[in-house]
Amino acid sequence: MKKKSYMSLLFLLGTVLYGENTLIIPSSFRAKFHQTVTDDHKKVTTHEGSVLYSAPNRFKWSYTKPVKKDVCTDGKELLVVDYDLEQVSAYTILQPLNLSEILKNAKPHRKSVYNAVYKGKTYTIQVDNSKQLSRVAYFDDLDNAVLIIFDAIKYADQPIEDTLMQCRYPSSFDLIEG
């Protein structure tokens, strides 16, 4: 069965079993993204790049604009590779983001828009006609308004290879553990 018809079958099955308000919860996806972060003084910062996701909490964000930076997490550790500074920052994650749980908690708000509360934070999720992620908005821990717009998103029913999810960097980069 071709990939497109497989996804259509998943969507149809989800609609029949769970009602038309059900979101598709991916095992993994790849996408381009455009992110805006607006602080409380209305200063807007924009970022662009690509993202890989593997359930339940593995992400690799590869930023290309305004600067090249990779951010990888396995749900336990977060690595930030800053190519301009030639450094890697490593952090322990106390409360990992679980996208699958956020999507499971999503309740319809209006056509193609859902709200989900996860660990005290509210997420507004917009989906396309196939019920796949299109936009996610939330306030981060610093009260910045964050909007992530996904483009060319491709869902898959299997995890992305571990080697593709890892941040790679030159051994000459400084490692800062926090």
Q: Looking at residue 21, what is its pLDDT?
A: 53
Q: Looking at residue 17, what is its pLDDT?
A: 33
Q: pLDDT digit string (tens) for 46-98?
A: 999 999 999 989 999 999 999 999 999 999 999 999 999 999 999 999 888 89
Residue 130: pLDDT above 90?
Answer: no
Domain ranges of the chain: 25-177
**pLDDT-based confidence at residue 22 (cuts at 50, 70, 90):** confident
Q: Looking at residue 166, what is its pLDDT?
A: 95
CA distances from 51 to 10, 105, 125, 132 (A): 23, 22, 17, 15
> Which residues have a Cβ under 8 Å from the Cβ of 174 and sit 6 or more positions away?
85, 86, 87, 88
Residue 11: pLDDT above 80?
Answer: no
Report pTM.
0.83
In one-letter notation, the amino acid at residue 4 is K
Residue 167: pLDDT above 90?
Answer: yes
Question: What is the strand order of the sheet 113-118 is part of?
Answer: 107-110, 113-118, 121-127, 133-139, 145-156, 28-38, 44-54, 58-65, 69-73, 77-82, 87-92, 174-177
**pLDDT-based confidence at residue 161 (cuts at 50, 70, 90):** very high
Q: Is the CATH code 2.50.20.10 the one for domain 25-177?
A: yes
Higher per-residue confidence, 8 vs 143: 143
Q: Looking at residue 178, what is its pLDDT?
A: 78
Q: pLDDT digit string (tens) for 24-49?
A: 889 999 999 999 999 999 999 999 99
Residue 133: pLDDT above 60?
Answer: yes
Residue 10: pLDDT above 70?
Answer: no
**Phi, psi dihedrals of residue 165, rounded to the nearest 5°:** -85, -10
Burial grade of 97 (CB within 10 A; 0-12, 13-18, 19 or more): middle
